[in-house]
Amino acid sequence: MNTIYLREQLQNFLIEDIGFGDLSSALIDPDDESVATIVAKEEGIFCGKPIVQELATIQQFDVLFCQEDGHQIAIGDELIVLKGKTRVLLETERVLLNVIQHVSGVATMTRQCVDSLNDESIHVADTRKTTPGLRMLEKYAVRVGGGYNHRLRLDDAVMIKDNHIVALGGVAEAIHAARAQVGHTTPIEVEVESFAQLMEAIQANPDIVMLDNRTPEELRDWVRQIPSHIKIEVSGGITIDSIAAYKGIRIDVISLGQLTHSVRALDCSMNLQGGMKHATTRNTSTDVR
């Protein structure tokens, strides 16, 4: 996590939401202080401790407690306890909840996929199908959930896809062009969509082959042709509902856009201590951690 970039993002999120001032919170005495508790309203994986800490620094409130990233949470669990100026806590509430709920949703989805696959020899990875502006946070959440990151940006690796192959005149031509241009520390991956393309790719010796939109049965046959020094990634149409079918196949990585592009936020809420909202989970104690 790049904390400099994280701070910049959070400052922009606050500017977007607060505008020229929170008209509702301005009704409260500026010297009034409160304790706010964020509780889980559903089960999942908590993610976002660095976000909470950075927001506390920007907005000048104290973090009395925060769950560790990767912690399994249940309904009603206390996730975060904050103390500070009431106005500040309330003007920060929506940004904090929006980001924490989203990244916890990504972490939860990732953990579910990892558990469903149940194969430690295969890495479950994300893709670049991320929310614009949130890629760093979403990819961090994937790691918290037990997954791995694919490319962060286009400059991380050469990844030759179908349109590159068309533009460069073939699989082998594309791989050779990459070898001639990039340095020895830059990996070269090629996506293949047919058995003929796979054979052509193997002859050109990329670092990684991506087998796109193949059934588990097809993959078991195809991977027998691939030398052990070439890493194997599979992708295309794989979801949390189908990932278990790939267990035990000799592949290194399964990449899923679902980890980030259509994830549902993990529901939680913030209540001032002693408040009546969501009474079944409210914290009415006068004691603070």
Catalytic residues: 94, 129, 161, 191, 212
CA 189 to chain CA centroid, Å, is 22
> One-letter amino acid identity for 13?
F
Three-state secondary-structure class, residue 172: helix
Q: Are 169 and 135 in contact (CB under 8 A)?
A: no
Asked whether 65 and 80 are in contact (CB, 8 A), the reply is yes
Alpha helices in the chain (DSSP H): 3-18, 49-59, 86-117, 135-144, 162-168, 171-181, 195-204, 216-222, 258-261
175: its two tokens: 């791989």
Quickly tell me which residue has 């709920």 as its tokens: 101
3-state secondary structure of 186: coil
Q: Which two tokens stand for residue 274?
A: 């002693």
Q: Measure the CA–CA gap between 77 and 52, rounded to whole angstroms.
A: 17
Question: 125-152: buried (b, 16+ CB within 10 Å) or exposed (e) per residue?
Answer: bbbbbbeeebbebbbbbbbbbbbbbbbe
Alpha-carbon distance of 174 to 180, in angstroms, equals 10
Say if strands 33-40 and 268-272 run parallel, antiparallel, or are unpaired: antiparallel
Q: Are 257 and 127 in contact (CB under 8 A)?
A: yes
